[in-house]
Amino acid sequence: AQSVTQLDSHVSVSEGTPVLLRCNYSSSYSPSLFWYVQHPNKGLQLLLKYTSAATLVKGINGFEAEFKKSETSFHLTKPSAHMSDAAEYFCVVSDRGFGNEKLTFGTGTRLTIIP
């Protein structure tokens, strides 16, 4: 069984300051992990994914995440927040990462950017 816990339901940061969105996972296998972003009434856009290659993963729009097996974490970071980053972010796990598998979504973190 797999699960994802997003530790913060809401994060607020000032524009230009760092962003940290926390995610812990549980998986029976070597998981694949993803971060998706969703703007209001829109579909999901992939920010980045980890699939057992480099543990530090760089994504789009300046986001990156580090896979830490010892801590079962996959936190999302960005050095400097931009107003356009305001959205809902989902941490997602796939048990085997082979594709065509069930994805398990975290409960989401709403990121608010303060001007």
Partner 1 sequence: GAVVSQHPSWVICKSGTSVKIECRSLDFQATTMFWYRQFPKQSLMLMATSNEGSKATYEQGVEKDKFLINHASLTLSTLTVTSAHPEDSSFYICSAWTGLGYTFGSGTRLTVV
Residue among 28, 70, 102, 115 that touches partner 1 (CB under 8 A): 102
Asked if residue 84 lies in contact with residue 73, where contact means CB atoms within 8 angstroms, the answer is: no
Residue count of the chain: 115
Minimal distance in Å, beta carbon 66 to partner 1? 19
Q: Would you count residue 7 as binding partner 1 (CB under 8 A)?
A: no
Nearer to partner 1, 14 or 107 (CB): 107
CA dist 26 and 8 (Å) reads: 17
CA dist 84 and 61 (Å) reads: 10
Q: Would you count residue 41 as binding partner 1 (CB under 8 A)?
A: yes
The tokens describing 84, both together, are 């356009």
Q: Would you count residue 53 as binding partner 1 (CB under 8 A)?
A: no
100 φ/ψ sector (left φ>0, alpha ψ -120 to 50, else beta): left
Q: Would you count residue 82 as binding partner 1 (CB under 8 A)?
A: no
Residue among 42, 58, 68, 82 that touches partner 1 (CB under 8 A): 42
Asked if residue 28 lies in contact with residue 94, where contact means CB atoms within 8 angstroms, the answer is: no
Q: Would you count residue 103 as binding partner 1 (CB under 8 A)?
A: yes
Q: Would you count residue 108 as binding partner 1 (CB under 8 A)?
A: yes
> Which positions touch partner 1 (CB under 8 A)?
34, 36, 41-46, 49, 90, 99-103, 105-108
